[in-house]
Structure 1
Amino acid sequence: MANLVINKQALKPFGLKAKPVLEKQLRKIDVDISDYTFAANYIWLGNSSGFYAVINKCFCLFIITGGELTMLLPPIGKKKNVDKAIVRCFEIMNANNSSPYYSRIDYVQASTVEEFVQSEDEAQSMFEMLEHYIIEKKLVDYVYEADKLIELRGNSYHTKRTEINRFRNSYTDAYVEELDSEKHFEGIMALFNKWVADRVKYMPKEEAEVFLEGIHQERHAVKRMLKHYTELGLLGLVIYIDGEIKGFTAGERISGDTACVIIEKTDFEVMGCAQFIFREFSKLLKERYGIVYINVGDDMGFENLKKVKMSYRPFKLVPKYTIYQK
């Protein structure tokens, strides 16, 4: 795939060659947001939609949708370089887009927002920023203490313990294996297809139509994750019952003390399977990486998903912002 050249700036396709470039810059910042990894972005992007450039010594990740250019992350690099990179990135987006309305930077962490509105002359900088930009709080990441997810102690986790015990008693032959993308590919895709069918079965028709419109991207993401599993440096588990895969999950380390869960799917008809594999994966993440916290991403604005994630009693909610232009 060819480079894009916009406003004299070459944008390279966001492929596997970008991994060391992004990770070099990520090592320069302190972050615990699930979106700030190569794999988290790579598996969800289409083959021809992601582009990147190093601008003012910062890694800048763009996505083009319907011809309009936006940013999936703020410029990643040393604090002193980020502000000018943000301004330049808006210039590039504006030069491409049909209207400045479409230009935006998503998944901006709080510290980047703070840096963007501050300078030696803080009052003047704040005034100028508010004159030209809008900063809007969007979703939050749910971050848990790993030990609490593993131990599930106390009344607040009573329901989780009950569900896991019921699962163990009902499926005495269940066992987990570390995810092997070659060995488990067919079983994972079969489970994913069953998961889609089960979801549609219990949805109102109008909701099912909307759901199916977006499922192609998720199926593509699962296949891409499995195809490049080793290269992406992921860690995962599958759970077997009666010789069939009934659940799978995958994640990675974000920072020194935090890991994230990128994706998890279980068979709806196997009660307690989701709770069981989540705890087992939490154990593996701690054992393998020595982490203290586990980030399970945001709720995508879905109320049911929010309830599930809140039920695990998050240690903290990490806000994510979007920067627009006026």
Structure 2
Amino acid sequence: MLNPKPVSHTNINEIKDYFKYAYKHMSLAQFTTTYLWRHSTGLLYDIQDDFLYLFEKRYNYSSPLPLGDGDIFRALEKVKEYKTYIGGNNLVYCIDEEKAKLFKNFYELNEEPDFFEYVYLKEDLINLSGKKFHTKKNHLNQFVKNNKYTYERINVEDIPLVINLLEQWNEKMGYSIDLNVEKQAINELLNYDIGVNYKAGAIVLDSKVVAFAIGEKISDDMACVYFEKADTSIKGSYAVINNEFVKHEFPDVMYINRQEDLGLEGLIKAKESYNPVFKVKNYSMKL
């Protein structure tokens, strides 16, 4: 039987290589997302028979699809056995469309629209061409016209300025557990080496960071923006970091994944406004 233990910095190297089996376009299935949010999920892992098994203790042992190159049905039986033993739920998630086709005759599958990930053409986000991007282009042009700013890659000296903006943003939004976990994740990524080739950039205005973004190339043709924050009192700040970050950091990809909307109306509106070309579907299933 599986015997999971907590994921921590001491076992990064043990688990990281298994993420090559994750669906390449799903940001939720990547190592960076999984690892950085481990404090929130109470992430546990075990490795058996060349499969990585993950369980989220704080979500009643929900689990992403096991990652490996062997018999996935046998691996799922191991997941079911452990969940039954521990009294956890029977849910498995991070299932892409191809895997959903494989499982549809064996398990109860459900689409998870709140976790569909918005994908954009890189060239659209850079050029903002055409009528459908008219408003975004105006916001960007206003910022450029009214502010003498620089785009800078975030270095060690910039981290306190980034955290300061994040703190201001959290205060404005009203502190919450989720925001504190996000702050912890950003702080860890910027201050500690977890073996991720991430990109981090900021808009600097009057020696202050007024916007920043952090992302990573997750496949040959796609990059993902994990975090993005801006001073909303400065009109166009989100538009400029969105544009400059992609332009400077990911010139060689076709697509930009800006993650899910969690079913939140504000996020839905913001993500739809940049005209996604498709969404990465996420399925869950009951064992």
Match of 1:58 in 2: 51
CA contact (8 A) 1:145 1:292 kept: yes
Q: TM-score, normalised by structure 1?
A: 0.81
SS of the equivalent of 1:84 reads: helix
Matches within 5 A, 1:42-57: 42-46=35-39, 49-57=42-50
SS of the equivalent of 1:301 reads: coil
Match of 2:237 in 1: 273
Q: Which has the larger radius of gyration?
A: 1
CA contact (8 A) 1:299 1:306 kept: yes
Q: Which residue of 150, 167, 173 corresponds with 1:175?
A: 150
Q: Which residue of 64, 76, 87 corresponds with 1:86?
A: 76
Match of 2:62 in 1: 70
Shift of 1:54: 2.3
Count of residue pairs the alignment pairs up: 285
Match of 2:132 in 1: 156
Q: Which residue of 142, 154, 167 corresponds with 2:118?
A: 142
Describe the superposition over 1:234-253 as per-residue Cα deviations: whole angstroms up to 9, x where unpaired.
11101111111111111111
For the structure 1 residues 171 and 248, does the alpha-carbon distance in structure 2 shift closer, same or farther, using more than 3 Å as the test? same
Q: TM-score, normalised by structure 2?
A: 0.91
Shift of 1:212: 2.2
Matches within 5 A, 1:1-326: 8-28=1-21, 30-46=23-39, 49-65=42-58, 68-71=60-63, 73-78=64-69, 80-97=70-87, 102-117=89-104, 126=105, 129=106, 133-138=107-112, 139-172=115-148, 174-180=149-155, 182-200=156-174, 212-228=176-192, 231-287=195-251, 290-325=252-287
For the structure 1 residues 230 and 77, does the alpha-carbon distance in structure 2 shift closer, same or farther, using more than 3 Å as the test? closer
Quick one: which amino acid aligns to residue 286 of structure 1? F
Which segments of 5 or more consecutive residues in structure 2 lack a partner in the other structure? none
Shift of 1:55: 3.5
For the structure 1 residues 220 and 249, does the alpha-carbon distance in structure 2 shift closer, same or farther, using more than 3 Å as the test? same
Percent identical across equivalent pairs?
A: 23
Quick one: which amino acid aligns to residue 81 of structure 2? E
Quick one: which amino acid aligns to residue 155 of structure 1? K
Match of 1:208 in 2: none
Q: Distance in 2 between matches of 1:314 and 1:20?
A: 35
RMSD: 2.1
